[in-house]
Amino acid sequence: MSNAGEGRFACKRALVTGGLGFIGSNVARRLIDEGAEVTVVDNLDPRFGGNRFNIDGIESRMGVELADIRDAEAMKRLLPEKDFVFNVAGQTSHVESMTDPQTDLEINSVAQLSMLELCRRLNPGVKIVFTSTRQLYGKPDYLPVDERHPVRPVDVNGINKWSGEQYHILYSNVYGLRACVLRLTNTYGPRMRVKDARQTFLGIWVRELLQGRPIKVFGAGTQLRDLNYVDDCVDAILSAAASDVANGRIYNVGSSEVVTLNDLAQVMISLGYGGSYERVALPPERAAIDIGDYYSDFSLIRSELGWQPRIPLREGLKSTLSFYKTNLAHFI
């Protein structure tokens, strides 16, 4: 991490959408460390993970706008004169995308097109990084999954995130807007949502463990996953923002550590906070959109931008549990 004011983003003006949420607030913190002038925008809708505690200690060093990315008038005011837009806001629940598809469409697709059109008209020199999801690949044909893998979403969220990212690439290719896309895998760490599993299954696991309840592992627990600690995810996002090599590109972000869900639960239980786990049947609404095994091939971002994960899984989980042991009350 750079010393304050000495980073790649020193004196640059940055807008972080979803900036009171998990990944957005961690991006904002790093940008402030690097000397950027940061504005975060978030609607603080309780369904989506925004939490004022996520900027505890740094709120006086940034601008905070309580607005919705679906509000074109608000975005028209916020987007001009920014050097960077870190476009992290989104509806993240795969299950809820199936029960409330219209809201998912409005946030993950329609609002993205509106924002890009505003940038084209009002701030064509801006650099935009859009965070997408590995879920849009669907059930993998092969592992690890690289960017050439067919896109075959199994839920509404995957379709809408795919359209959102394709709008970013289209505006890069056609209008020269400097936009790129990162397809994130299971990101975890401090400030993630833990009150439920809307954001990541690992969040509810953390809550269950710290509150003395068994971690619930769906199915046989043999499903393979890769995970990224949030600091590594932020590294990837900022690397993409800082490099024009990334313009018009789509990158997988992932990890070389691949674990089964059973092994992941066992690692968490071994970290000194006690706990246990049990296997439970996959609920029907989750079974309908389950993708089976998944882990990423991230060789493209490694070769083009020099990014690779630095935080070992055990170390990241230990840091995460330590954070929530102290701060759980702020997140439930």
Which residue range(s) make up the domain with 119? 13-189+227-254+295-311
Domain at 25, CATH number: 3.40.50.720
Residue 238 lies in a domain: yes
Dist. CA 233–CA 252, nearest whole Å? 11
- pLDDT, position 3: 42
**128 forms bridges with which residues in the sheet?**
85, 179
Q: What are 248-289's pLDDT values in tens digits? A: 999 999 999 999 999 999 999 999 999 999 999 988 888 888
Residue 208 lies in a domain: no
Q: Which of 116, 155, 106 is nearest to 133 (CA)?
A: 155
- pLDDT, position 4: 44
Q: What are 283-332's pLDDT values in tens digits? A: 888 888 888 999 999 999 999 999 999 999 999 999 999 999 999 999 99
Q: Which of 42, 27, 285, 297 is nearest to 157 (CA)?
A: 285
Q: How many domains does the chain have?
A: 1
DSSP track, 55-84: GTTTGGGSEEEE--TT-HHHHHHHSTT-SE
Average pLDDT over every residue of 59-78: 97
DSSP track, 94-112: HHHHHHSHHHHHIIIIIHH
Q: What are 13-67's pLDDT values in tens digits? A: 999 999 999 999 999 999 999 999 999 999 998 888 899 999 999 999 999 999 9
Residue 76 lies in a domain: yes
Q: What are 128-138's pLDDT values in tens digits? A: 999 999 999 99
φ, ψ at 80 (rounded to 5°): -60, 150
